[in-house]
């Protein structure tokens, strides 16, 4: 039998808190499957796959936003998948997509999903409000 819904949600929360919020990249080898199937389109990390692509996405965001913080407001598990709704906040203190740091803060919603097997994330999906993020960074007009 697979893991319980509560176990799956606990793994999602652990990945979010320890890898994304705390920047503990060493945990990627433990919690992310080597051949992760990644359905997220990311500028700057195209062409990579698996665990290394995942690692690159964490490094990219934590470089751009050293105080990156993702607060999971809702997590729902069914079968081997956990879907989450979160808020991402941070101050743009590093390069992002080849653009210099703006010093501005972001506060944007994001929806993600992870599929787990044997205690590892083996597949991920996600979308964030990049339009709102670009507006908050001063790269697009608001209104």
Mean pLDDT, range 10-35, rounded to an integer: 98
Spatial distance between the Cα atoms of 129 and 36, rounded to a whole number of angstroms: 23
Residue 47's pLDDT is what?
A: 64
Question: 43 falls in which pLDDT band (50, 70, 90)?
Answer: confident
CA angle 56, 59, 61 (to 5 degrees): 110
- The 8-class DSSP code of residue 96 comes to B
Which domains does the chain show, CATH number per domain? 5-136 (3.10.450.50)
Q: Residue written as tokens 């944007």?
A: 108
Q: What is the mean pLDDT of the chain?
A: 93
Whether 1 shows a pLDDT value over 70: the answer reads no
Give pLDDT tens digits for 67-85.
999 999 999 999 999 999 9
The residues, ordered by sequence, that sit 6+ positions from 55 with a Cβ below 8 Å of its Cβ are 25, 28, 32
How far is the first Cα of the chain from the last one, in angstroms, to the nearest whole number?
Answer: 51
Helix (H) or strand (E) holding 112: strand 105-117
- The 8-class DSSP code of residue 61 comes to H
Yes or no: say if 31 and 14 are a contact pair by the CB < 8 Å rule: yes
Token reading at 120: 């590892």
């Amino acid at each position: 039998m697979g893991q319980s819904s509560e176990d799956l949600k606990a793994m999602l929360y652990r990945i979010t808190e320890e890898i994304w919020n705390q920047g503990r990249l060493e945990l990627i080898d433990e919690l992310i499957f080597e051949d992760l199937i990644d359905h997220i389109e990311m500028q700057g990390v195209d062409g990579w796959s698996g665990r290394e692509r995942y690692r690159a996405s964490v490094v990219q965001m934590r470089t751009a936003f050293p105080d990156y913080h993702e607060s999971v407001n809702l997590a729902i598990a069914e079968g081997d998948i956990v879907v989450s709704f979160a808020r991402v906040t941070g101050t743009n203190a590093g390069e992002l997509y080849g653009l210099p740091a703006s010093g501005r803060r972001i506060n944007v919603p994001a929806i993600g999903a992870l599929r787990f097997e044997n205690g590892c994330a083996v597949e991920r999906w996600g979308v964030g409000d990049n339009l709102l993020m670009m507006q908050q960074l001063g790269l697009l007009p608001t209104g």
